[in-house]
Amino acid sequence: MSFLGAILSGPVSRSAETISEHRLLRDGHSTKEKFEELLKKDAEKIINAQEKGFAFVSAGQANWLDLLRPFSFFNGFRKRNSSGEDSVGPVTRWYSTNTFYRKPEIISKITAKGNELSSFLPEIEDRKGVLFLPGPYSFSRLVQNSFYNDNKELVLDYAQAIALNLDSLKEKGYFAVIFSEPSFGFDFLKESFDEKLLVKGFAGKIKEKNFTLGINFPLADASKAIPLIEETAFDFIGVDCFYSDFSGIKTKKDVFLGLVDGSRIGIESIESVKKTIKDFKLNASFSGNFFIGPNDRLFDVPFEQGLEKINILSKAAAGLSGEE
């Protein structure tokens, strides 16, 4: 059981300065260039905070706003008849938060040219980059599907579109994807969960040598998700340590322990991180390797606290390196 390093698990908030500039841009009193310059600075700070102990690094996808944002640039999605940021789709609540996303609408078969995702991401130099995308089940729940009769087909075309993007992603330094499945926990509770959409073929279509694939189940009990994922091509499975029953976890795969709370403002201590790992090792039936990170995106805490949480992960990870 080796420690593999820390990884983030989703987008990070923007700094107060960037937010102020974004508002000015919205109101027509700043320029896109000025705003993008600040986004770049935020991304640098996020990358710098991951300097030690991180297996893969992320620039926080600070320019995305939501995980669905680039998809209207794929073929098959409606381009709204309006200008600016509202061109993607209607404003829709992101689960149980006060953040919203733009709901893209699928109007024909999803296909990709191959550079849709990389054009939304900065280059990662000297390190291996990770990006975050909606998992297959959540993707099918978050888009407005006005084309596919069979959601399984939708999910496989989504996989194919991502697969076509891998080359350009690698050119920009990305070697890992974490698929986030918040819909799993949500719908599981409501008994409207359709496990067929966590299709085996999904990860298989994307899986390539030298590319690591993870799937995370924020705000859900991973012990319920793992049996559905065990035989898929995902390399590791996310365990939300605040929602999961460790004793129910049985897996041969590597795991990603989400042990820093993305929804609370308090900053975890290194001791609490270590304690969670210890509890997991004691209670779960697990012999693989493990990553650590936040249980969910760091988008519901301000930028500064997000950075502090990343710092704690970095320090904890540095202390865990080489741990068996």
Partner 1 sequence: MNKTFLTQEIGSIQRPIWRQKLNAPSNENWIKDALEWGKKFDVNERFELANEKKTGLLQKNGEKRTQEEKQRIIDISSIYVIRMLEKAGLDRVFNGEQPRTEMYDAFASKTKGIKTAGFVNSFDANYFRKGIITKKVEISDEGIDWFKKEFEFARNHSQKIIKPCLTGPYTMTDWSYVEYYAELQEKKASGNPVKEARRNAVLDFASDVINPIVKEYVKAGAEVIQIDEPAASTKQHEADLVVEGINASFKGVPRNVEKAVHLCYSNYSSLFPELAESSADSYLIECTNHSTGKEFNPNQIHEEALKIIELFKEYKMNASIGAGLIDIHSDLIESPEIIRDRILFINKLMDDPKKVQVNPDCGLRTRKWEIAFPKLENMVKGAELARKALE
Residues that bind partner 1 (CB under 8 A): 13-14, 16, 19, 22-23, 25-29, 65, 80-86, 90-93, 96-103, 264-266, 299-305
User: Which pair of tokens denotes residue 316?
Assistant: 């904890």
CB of 113 to partner 1, least distance (A): 26
- Residue 260 contacts residue 224 (beta carbons within 8 Å): no
Residue 253 vs 309, nearer CB to partner 1: 309
CB of 304 to partner 1, least distance (A): 6
CA distance 209 to 32: 38
CA distance 71 to 51: 30
Residue 15 vs 165, nearer CB to partner 1: 15
Residue 141 vs 205, nearer CB to partner 1: 141
Residue 154 vs 301, nearer CB to partner 1: 301
Residue 90 vs 227, nearer CB to partner 1: 90
CB of 24 to partner 1, least distance (A): 8
CB of 182 to partner 1, least distance (A): 13
CB of 103 to partner 1, least distance (A): 8
Largest CA distance in the chain: 57
Give the Cα-Cα-Cα angle 270, 1, 291 (nearest 5 degrees). Answer: 50
Cα–Cα distances (Å) from 162 to 81, 114, 141, 142, in that order, read 26, 8, 18, 17
Cα–Cα distances (Å) from 309 to 46, 123, 138, in that order, read 11, 23, 26
